[in-house]
């Protein structure tokens, strides 16, 4: 029996469970079979065609069961993995074949038929993880961003399936010290080059890497290793391929009716986020991944294109879209209070991470794209000129507490001619390695959670290409191998020292020691909690300083936790191997000082434990 209460909330725009009614569901109605249900208010007729009726729907006309346009039919003797489509006589009298918007699985491109699958009765064993899961606001969160199709390939050409990824990727992420993985969109998409950001199947896990239950087992195993799983979710736009959502019933059912609003800058169709049915469709899709797949968080792509019409501030705020995203985040937070909601937002729109009851957008985190742009621009600069742009690095802390930020060095920064992270660094080969280590230590000691795209940890010189696996051979070279060791150690320091994360979003957790040393291009600051203080010193020039005075807040022994120029990282080993005793002398407005060795392009963290 259909749950008509879900229809009521679907049409009111408050539904998170539309996938429990719409689509293809196994049922027993006097005989075993499948009930197909679809929303198409302007269709004249709809047939279900598939392998079970030899693609002849003459005996499978759906019945319109609601005045709002819900169509349904029960068909006996349909089996799991049977293919199907809807043959729709649309509003113009044309018969067109459409994939099911609520399909749980879809054929591999270029084919586009939906498949009947049973997603229930998977044997989850991650209850302990789910019960202890948090949003990590006060815990370390180091995210490894992954494109599953190009992380590693079989025989260098074939995609790994979910079972193989569980065997290889999960141990790698664990060994590297990351707390979470973020998977670029897993929803079905017809064009590999869109990386999943131009989707057709919002409820359909891509068939590229295996079956839905194989994906469930992959996530289940991630949770057993205490690794959270975040996925990218794209509620802004969808592909124009005619088998999909576009003009689904002959009218702009999912997209805006005005062509100027409907066509995006990516050549895709923009969801009409003013429509209640579209809101319910997308909210149900987000809830579906958290419910059925135990996803720990979603990162919503292109939030600026939700806030402003086509992402352009001059065109004004899209109030209907804002109402949608507030509603989405409110309901998800209510139903999944420990799930993580992240905004990829390039705008300066305020209160993105404030609660919806304060008229914020209700996200838990926002990507700090300003930090990313300013930081990478600074590191590309000749050190001779850095003193004139000194506050390009200090500026992030001027606005940091306005939102809850994640610091991202994502896939967007290593494609389309932008150069990889290490290749952006100024200087020759040796200087690039020295500075990229400096950059990563700066990133991990700066307030905010961390995100690095795959390949950053290998010092990839080649830009990311979704058709090629990562350059794993780089680890055969000592310079790249030592950089990877540095990244592993940096993750360990970060995750094992609570002062680097506990007060990320409270001002008591960070203090500048000297933010104004533009003459030497040296920055110093400290992180603090109840257990310890960690002092960071960054040298942005190739000049060595044997005795550099640093003000510190506490007396005691300052022990160097990590130094980017240590010999094991193929640095010049100009480090501080002996604990530094703080002397009582005012320096940098601090009551004590230590004297440190600072290597060219060196970066270090020093810890003092509180008594």
pLDDT of residue 322 exceeding 70, the answer is: yes
Asked if 462 contacts 471 with a C-beta cutoff of 8 angstroms, the reply is yes
- What pLDDT, on the 0 to 100 scale, is given for residue 410? 96
Asked if 39 contacts 277 with a C-beta cutoff of 8 angstroms, the reply is yes
Residue with tokens 């005012």: 586
pTM of the model: 0.94
Q: Over 219-242, what HEC string results? A: HHHHHHCCCEEEEEECCCEECCCC
pLDDT of residue 275 exceeding 90, the answer is: yes
- What pLDDT, on the 0 to 100 scale, is given for residue 362? 97
- What pLDDT, on the 0 to 100 scale, is given for residue 611? 73
- What pLDDT, on the 0 to 100 scale, is given for residue 193? 84
Return the active site residues: 301, 344
Evaluate the omega torsion of the peptide bond into residue 110 and state whether it is cis, within 30 degrees of 0. Answer: yes
Residue with tokens 């879209």: 321
Summarize the confidence of residues 258-282 as an average pLDDT.
Answer: 94
- What pLDDT, on the 0 to 100 scale, is given for residue 272? 96
Summarize the confidence of residues 558-575 as an average pLDDT.
Answer: 96
Residues of the chain with CATH 2.60.40.1180: 507-609
CATH of domain 4-115: 2.60.40.10
Mean pLDDT, all residues of the chain: 95
User: How far, CA to CA in Å, does 253 sit from each of 30, 101, 283?
Assistant: 34, 12, 16
CATH of domain 507-609: 2.60.40.1180
Evaluate the omega torsion of the peptide bond into residue 595 and state whether it is cis, within 30 degrees of 0. Answer: no
Rounded to 5 degrees, what angle do the CA atoms 514, 515, 516 make? 95
Interval 16-35: pLDDT, tens? 999 999 999 999 888 999 99
d(CA 104, CA 419): 37
Max avg pLDDT among 75-79, 192-196, 448-452? 448-452
- How is residue 147 written in tokens? 């494109």
Span of 186-195, 294-303, 347-356, 559-568 with lowest mean pLDDT: 186-195
Asked if 25 contacts 35 with a C-beta cutoff of 8 angstroms, the reply is yes
- What pLDDT, on the 0 to 100 scale, is given for residue 192? 86
Asked if 515 contacts 540 with a C-beta cutoff of 8 angstroms, the reply is no
Bridge partner residues of 112 (DSSP) = none
d(CA 220, CA 214): 10
User: How far, CA to CA in Å, does 100 sit from each of 39, 87, 378, 404?
Assistant: 10, 10, 48, 38
d(CA 577, CA 297): 41
Residues of the chain with CATH 3.20.20.80: 140-500
pLDDT of residue 4 exceeding 80, the answer is: no
Query: What is the b/e burial string over 361-390, where b = at least 16 CB atoms within 10 angstroms of the residue's CB?
Result: bbbbbbbbbebbebbbebbeeebeebeeeb
d(CA 535, CA 579): 13
d(CA 91, CA 147): 40
The 3-state DSSP class for residue 585 equals: strand
Residue with tokens 């009930």: 35
d(CA 312, CA 261): 12
Cite the DSSP H helix spans in 245-338.
Answer: 259-262, 276-292, 304-307, 319-335
- What pLDDT, on the 0 to 100 scale, is given for residue 249? 95
Percent above pLDDT 90 for the chain: 93
Summarize the confidence of residues 270-296 as an average pLDDT.
Answer: 97
d(CA 17, CA 36): 16
The 3-state DSSP class for residue 13 equals: coil
- What pLDDT, on the 0 to 100 scale, is given for residue 3? 62
The 3-state DSSP class for residue 204 equals: strand
pLDDT band at 7 (very low <50, low <70, confident <90, very high): confident
d(CA 379, CA 395): 15
Tell me the CB-side half-sphere exposure of residue 494, using CA atoms within 13 A: 30
Beta-carbon contacts of residue 504 (< 8 Å; ≥ 6 apart): 137, 138, 404, 447, 448, 449
* Domain 140-500 class, CATH top level: alpha beta
pLDDT band at 154 (very low <50, low <70, confident <90, very high): confident
Residues of the chain with CATH 2.60.40.10: 4-115
Strand residue runs (E) in 441-556: 449-453, 510-514, 522-528, 532-539, 545-552
pLDDT of residue 1 exceeding 80, the answer is: no
DSSP per-residue string spanning 532-573? EEEEEEEE-SS--EEEEEEEESS-SEEEEEEETT-GGGTS--
d(CA 148, CA 198): 16
Asked if 365 contacts 303 with a C-beta cutoff of 8 angstroms, the reply is no
The terminus-to-terminus CA distance of the chain in angstroms comes to 66
Query: What is the b/e burial string over 61-79, where b = at least 16 CB atoms within 10 angstroms of the residue's CB?
Result: ebebebeebbbbbbbeebe
Closest by CA position to 187, among listed 158, 218, 208: 208
d(CA 186, CA 4): 30
d(CA 142, CA 132): 18
Interval 458-517: pLDDT, tens? 999 999 999 999 999 999 999 999 999 999 999 999 999 999 999 999 999 999 999 999
Bridge partner residues of 70 (DSSP) = 39
Interval 486-495: pLDDT, tens? 999 999 999 9
- What pLDDT, on the 0 to 100 scale, is given for residue 155? 83
pLDDT band at 2 (very low <50, low <70, confident <90, very high): low
Residue with tokens 């074939």: 158
Tell me the CB-side half-sphere exposure of residue 506, using CA atoms within 13 A: 11
Summarize the confidence of residues 414-437 as an average pLDDT.
Answer: 95
């Amino acid at each position: 029996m259909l749950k008509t209460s879900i229809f009521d909330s679907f049409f009111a725009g408050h539904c998170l469970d539309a996938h429990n009614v719409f689509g293809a569901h196994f049922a027993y109605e006097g005989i075993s079979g499948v009930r197909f249900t679809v929303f198409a208010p302007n269709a004249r007729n709809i047939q279900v065609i598939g392998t079970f009726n030899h693609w002849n729907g003459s005996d499978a006309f759906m019945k319109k069961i609601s005045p709002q346009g819900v169509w349904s039919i029960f068909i006996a003797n349909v089996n799991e993995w049977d293919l199907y489509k809807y043959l729709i006589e649309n509003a113009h009298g044309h018969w067109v074949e459409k994939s099911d918007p609520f399909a749980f699985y879809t054929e591999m491109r270029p084919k586009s038929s939906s498949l009947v699958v049973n997603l229930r009765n998977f044997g989850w064993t991650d209850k302990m993880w789910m019960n202890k899961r948090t949003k990590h606001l006060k815990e370390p969160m180091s995210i490894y961003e992954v494109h599953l199709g190009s992380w590693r390939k079989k025989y260098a050409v074939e995609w790994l399936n979910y079972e193989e990824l569980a065997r290889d990727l999960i141990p790698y992420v664990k060994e590297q010290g990351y707390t979470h993985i973020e998977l670029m969109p897993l929803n079905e998409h017809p064009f590999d080059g869109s990386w999943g950001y131009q989707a057709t199947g919002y409820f359909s896990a891509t068939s590229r890497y295996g079956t839905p239950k194989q994906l469930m087992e992959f996530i289940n195993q991630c949770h057993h290793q205490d690794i959270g799983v975040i996925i990218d979710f794209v509620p802004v736009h969808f592909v124009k391929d005619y088998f999909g959502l576009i003009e689904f019933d002959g009218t702009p059912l999912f997209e805006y009716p005005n062509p100027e609003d409907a066509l995006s800058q990516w050549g895709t169709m923009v969801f009409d986020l003013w429509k209640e049915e579209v809101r319910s469709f997308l909210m149900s899709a987000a809830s579906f991944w958290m419910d059925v797949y135990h996803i720990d968080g979603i990162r919503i792509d292109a939030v600026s294109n939700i806030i402003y019409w086509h992402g352009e501030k001059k065109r004004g705020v899209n109030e209907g879209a804002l109402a949608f995203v507030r509603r989405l985040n409110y309901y998800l937070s209510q139903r999944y209070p420990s799930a993580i909601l992240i905004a990829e937002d390039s705008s300066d729109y305020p209160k993105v991470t404030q609660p919806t009851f304060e008229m914020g957008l209700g996200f838990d985190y926002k990507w700090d794209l300003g930090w990313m742009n300013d930081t990478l621009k600074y590191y590309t600069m000749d050190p001779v000129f850095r003193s004139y742009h000194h506050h390009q690095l200090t500026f992030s802390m001027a606005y940091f507490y306005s939102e809850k930020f994640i610091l991202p060095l994502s896939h967007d920064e290593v494609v389309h001619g932008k150069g990889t992270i290490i290749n952006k660094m100024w200087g020759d080969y040796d200087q690039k390695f020295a500075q990229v280590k400096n950059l990563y230590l700066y990133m991990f000691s700066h307030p905010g959670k961390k995100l690095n795209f795959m390949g950053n940890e290998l010092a990839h010189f080649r830009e990311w290409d979704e058709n090629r696996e990562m350059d794993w051979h780089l680890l055969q070279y000592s310079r790249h191998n030592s950089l990877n060791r540095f990244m592993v150690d940096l993750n360990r320091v970060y995750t094992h020292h609570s002062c680097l994360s506990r007060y990320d979003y409270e001002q008591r957790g960070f203090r500048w020691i000297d933010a104004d040393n533009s003459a030497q291009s040296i920055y110093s600051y400290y992180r603090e909690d109840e257990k310890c203080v960690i002092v960071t010193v960054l040298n942005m020039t190739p000049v060595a300083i044997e005795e550099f005075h640093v003000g510190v807040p506490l007396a005691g022994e300052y022990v160097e936790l990590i130094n980017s120029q240590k010999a094991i990282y193929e640095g010049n080993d100009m480090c501080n191997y002996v604990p530094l005793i703080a002397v009582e002398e005012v320096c940098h407005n601090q009551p004590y000082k230590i004297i440190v060795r600072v290597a060219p392009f060196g970066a270090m963290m020093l810890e003092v434990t509180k008594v």
